[in-house]
Structure 1
Amino acid sequence: MDSATKDGSEKSGGVEFIHESDGSITARDIETGLARGGDTRAEALSQLADVLALENGEGERIDDEEAFLEELGIDPDEVAAAREDHDGIPEFMQ
């Protein structure tokens, strides 16, 4: 997607920063529309860089989801129960 600059020329790509009402800042990639937020521009941009890397297939595959959750301190049984409670399309969308 192209966007117009102040001088009227067009540029491809780039990032726009959105100042949210709660004081946080969202960084949005103009080309993909992907966005991430943070407390500062630098934090939002760093988070966006991670999302763009994942979008491009970078990162490590999680082979054992339960072990990964336990490593993060999350009870896999609680996750499974939450998924059962929320499976399918939300009622308001049916």
Structure 2
Amino acid sequence: MSTESGTTNNPPIGTTITLTYEGDWWVASDDETGVTSQGKTRHEALDNLDEALQGYHGEGEPPSEAELREAGIDPEQNTSGSIEDSDIFE
């Protein structure tokens, strides 16, 4: 396994990204948030990490009904609420 630290195209100043090669995959991790992604190439892993970090920071669009169905979720039964109201996160 090889490891190198660097930065993506436009990360905030002081951001440390760790890249490792594990098997057939490059794994990119943001050391501050712990967000991790992977790709078949270093570039793909970093691009996927950028996308994952956008989601982590609340950017992006909610899934469409078609995307929910594709993930096995019935849009009619899909409701959002606070974590405090959830039986799962007790």
Q: Which residue number in structure 1 is paired with residue 50 of structure 2?
A: 49
Q: How many residues align?
A: 64
Residue from 19, 22, 25 that aligns with 2:21: 19
The runs of 5 or more residues in structure 2 that have no matched partner are: 6-12, 75-87
Give, in angstroms, the shift of residue 69 of structure 1.
4.3
Tell me the TM-score normalised to structure 2 length.
Answer: 0.57
Distance in 2 between residues matched to 1:54 and 1:75, nearest whole Å: 17
Give, in angstroms, the shift of residue 35 of structure 1.
0.5
8 Å contact from structure 1 (residues 34, 51) kept in 2: yes
What's the % identity of the aligned pairs? 33
8 Å contact from structure 1 (residues 19, 25) kept in 2: yes
Q: Which residue number in structure 1 is paired with residue 60 of structure 2?
A: 59
Tell me the TM-score normalised to structure 1 length.
Answer: 0.55
Deviations 1:36-70 (A, max 9, x none): 001111000000000000111111123x53x2346
| Equivalent position SS for 1:60 | coil
Q: Which residue number in structure 2 is paired with residue 36 of structure 1?
A: 37
Indicate the RMSD between aligned Cα atoms, in angstroms.
2.7
The runs of 5 or more residues in structure 1 that have no matched partner are: 6-10, 81-87, 89-94
